[in-house]
Structure 1
Amino acid sequence: MKYVIGVDLGTSAVKILLVNQNGEVCNEVSKSYPLIIEKSGYSEQNPEEWVEKTKAGLAELIAQFDGDVNDIEGISFSGQMHGLVLLDENNQVLRNAILWNDTRTTKQCQEIYDVVGKQRLLEVTKNPALEGFTLPKILWVKKEEPELFARAGVFMLPKDYLRYRIAGNIHMDYSDAAGTLLLNVAKREWSNEMLELFGLSTEICPPLVESHALVGNVTSEFAQATGLSEATKVFAGGADNACGAIGSGILSEGKTLCSIGTSGVVLSYEERNDLDFHGKVHYFNHGEENAYYTMGVTLAAGYSLSWFKDTFAKEEAFDQFLEGVDEVPAGSGGLLFTPYIVGERTPHADPIIRGSFIGVDASHERKHFARAVLEGITFSLNESIEIFRSSGKTIDSIISIGGGAKNETWLQMQADIFNAKIEKLTSEQGPGMGAAMLAAYGCGWFSSLKECAKSFIQTSKTYNSIPENVEAYKQLFIIYQQVYAQTKKLNEQLSQFRK
């Protein structure tokens, strides 16, 4: 039996999967590492932590492997998007990595709009200027740490730096480059226009490759430290959302994914590079060659539920906490929740807006509030689905993964609110499986990622919408959409009292 390894470099931990030719996960290891938060709004990590924890995780995986290490043919990567890793001319790290959830770059985002113009930025990069993206971080370092920036030779994204340390070569794949605001997404090349406008050299950008591209072999040093074979092939990998799409089989037109973790993502496959969503959703290169995906984000999806549980029932398990929500009819007895507890991303890119419970009644019990939270999260995700549908996309089947796929009532709720068939996967490994599939395809096990998905991914259960619930939720969704506009000014006034 042959094997591949998928490495998912997340924000809080690296997750490593050993996958065989049947798509079965034979072992998995996770190693956590800390965030560095020096000031409010700052979020950094030491890239060396990624390397050391991955090294330790791989060594543990290999130590537990009872086969021939030479049968592990390939390794590939999924990684947190947008993070800035700056290297000097000798490829040494210049400073801590600035992560995707760092929000210090508001001024730089405005600078990008002032210099490029909002419309031109969308034409070139397909995305608005948001604090999380990479170019604003580069401009921040250039302004605030000019002596350090003068020594910069190349920038990388987190998983690309990890892969460089494993294989010794510097590259970036298209799916991760799409989140930098420096890539011409449609043309699949670094934008000379963007680089010139901000006085950046083309040399600072790594060579671009496909996600399944072979970029080297495991170095002798890394092989010695982990037990891997030097013959193990190293493939480029992709952005976490692109790999999550691959690992869920989102590989053809109309295929759509709903992933509910701390944040929530609705992601849809796109064949074309010329659709115009007016910047309302993200538009990135896929990990599959010559394909794209659009994506809407709810900032506090699962986080809204965990916040509510931890605030009012900290000691209870989620299953216990959600008991009784299936007894509450659609609409939670006239109680509505908006999940804006840390601001919002899609369709309202607003860091100041905050959440609301609307319609609290003396008859409401805890189960009504819990169901309202689930419904509010799902309404927020439905805003992204409606943006896709309004552009002409047909979305009638959605694969649900993450926390939202662990509760039967919530899965049925998604079917009813989205008015679509919801599919739950037999084995859900998300981005790590996508990385493993890129390695499997790169090793030649399959003729395409689609063929790989047919073998590796199966549906365990399907949820169909209930017509009377669909009608009730259509009416409620109209009310939900009014809450943002009607609470925006109130939240701006309240913001001065937040500590």
Structure 2
Amino acid sequence: MAFRGTARLHVRHLHQRHAHPLVSGTVRPRAGFRGGADDCQSPKRRRAHRSGANGIVVLPYFSGERTPIHDPHARGVIFGLDLTHTRADIYRGFLEGIAYGVTSVIETYEGAGASIKRIAAVGGGTKNAVWSQAISDASGKTQDVAANTVGAAFGNAFLAAVAVGAAGREDIRRWNPMERRIAPQEENRAVYDARYRTFKELYARNSDLMKGSSTADVR
């Protein structure tokens, strides 16, 4: 699941499928909250580490969305704000909003009858502990994180090695062994389930309004 790029889903009887929340790569740690395990010194930052972003739900559709809604008119929403929220709450809301987007992709696959055997997390998002955990908590799925998460370049090198006979397909686990797993934390499931329902309802109830205010067709 490359949070900057792609959620790589291994689906039974199919090749790898890539779930790509469109704006995930635009999220940057500029809101005073970086999500590291040791970054909890102040009361505000401890508060921002609560699952569920203290009630904020973000639709991260700031440039339309592809999988699974395929809607160029979709627009971003920051829902639930009040005067007690901080920048850190909003930033966490963005991370969790993308986690809900990935969850909706997984639901779409499963709803179509696909069996997801494995989720491999790749890309820069794997460096953010809060973001990574939110993906697993919201989706209820375990992610595998390999030692090398650069993705495409490393994969290209491996394919070249296979092509010239320097490696076999079975050698990928030796080249890039799994380093860790990110398992869902069940104590967070109720919060994320409730926020995810809100996430889906926000789009369902506002999609028509989004079409009316979209600039996608303005030339």
Distance 1:435 1:344 in 2: 28
Q: 156, 177, 193: which one pairs with 1:458?
A: 177
Q: 171, 181, 198: which one pairs with 1:479?
A: 198
Q: Quote the offset at 1:407 in angstroms.
A: 1.1
- Where in structure 2 are the equivalents of 1:155-166 lying within 5 Å? none
Q: 51, 54, 76: which one pairs with 1:330?
A: 51
Higher helix proportion (structure 1 or 2): 2
CA contact (8 A) 1:325 1:371 kept: no
Distance 1:375 1:424 in 2: 19
Distance 1:347 1:377 in 2: 13
Higher strand proportion (structure 1 or 2): 1
> Is 2:7 the counterpart of 1:266?
yes
Q: Quote the offset at 1:380 in angstroms.
A: 0.6
What SS does structure 2 have at the residue aligned with 1:343? coil
* Partner AA of 2:51 in structure 1: A
The corresponding residue for 1:432 is: 153
Bigger CA drift: 374-383 or 388-397? 388-397
What SS does structure 2 have at the residue aligned with 1:267? strand
The corresponding residue for 1:206 is: none
Q: Quote the offset at 1:431 in angstroms.
A: 0.7
Distance 1:494 1:386 in 2: 28
**Residues 457 and 496 of structure 1, relative CA distance in 2, 3 Å threshold:** closer
CA contact (8 A) 1:415 1:421 kept: yes
Q: Quote the offset at 1:296 in angstroms.
A: 2.7
The gaps in structure 2 that reach 5 residues or longer are none
Q: Which has the higher contact order (CA 8 A, sep 6+)?
A: 2
> Is 2:107 the counterpart of 1:366?
no
- Structure 1 runs of 4+ aligned residues shifted over 6 Å read none
Distance 1:325 1:388 in 2: 35
Q: Quote the offset at 1:270 in angstroms.
A: 4.2
Aligned-pair Cα RMSD in Å: 2.7
**Residues 344 and 325 of structure 1, relative CA distance in 2, 3 Å threshold:** farther
CA contact (8 A) 2:8 2:120 kept: no
Distance 1:405 1:325 in 2: 21
**Residues 329 and 413 of structure 1, relative CA distance in 2, 3 Å threshold:** same
Percent of aligned positions with the same letter in both sequences? 25
**Residues 410 and 396 of structure 1, relative CA distance in 2, 3 Å threshold:** farther
Per-residue Cα deviation, 1:243-287 (whole angstroms, up to 9, x for no partner): xxxxxxxxxxxxxxx1121xx4223234536xxxxxxxxxxxxxx
Q: 403, 412, 415: which one pairs with 2:133?
A: 412
- Where in structure 2 are the equivalents of 1:290-309 lying within 5 Å? 292-303=15-26, 305-306=27-28, 309=30
Distance 1:395 1:271 in 2: 6
> Is 2:129 the counterpart of 1:386?
no
CA contact (8 A) 2:102 2:135 kept: no
The gaps in structure 1 that reach 5 residues or longer are 1-257, 274-291
Larger Rg: 1
TM-score, with normalisation over the residues of structure 1? 0.39
TM-score, with normalisation over the residues of structure 2? 0.84
Q: Quote the offset at 1:402 in angstroms.
A: 1.4
Distance 1:442 1:345 in 2: 33
The corresponding residue for 1:423 is: 144
- Where in structure 2 are the equivalents of 1:128-277 lying within 5 Å? 258-261=1-4, 264-270=5-11, 272=13
- Where in structure 2 are the equivalents of 1:36-185 lying within 5 Å? none
CA contact (8 A) 1:265 1:295 kept: yes
* Partner AA of 1:491 in structure 2: M
What SS does structure 2 have at the residue aligned with 1:386? helix
Per-residue Cα deviation, 1:81-114 (whole angstroms, up to 9, x for no partner): xxxxxxxxxxxxxxxxxxxxxxxxxxxxxxxxxx
CA contact (8 A) 1:299 1:344 kept: yes
CA contact (8 A) 2:53 2:93 kept: yes
The corresponding residue for 1:245 is: none
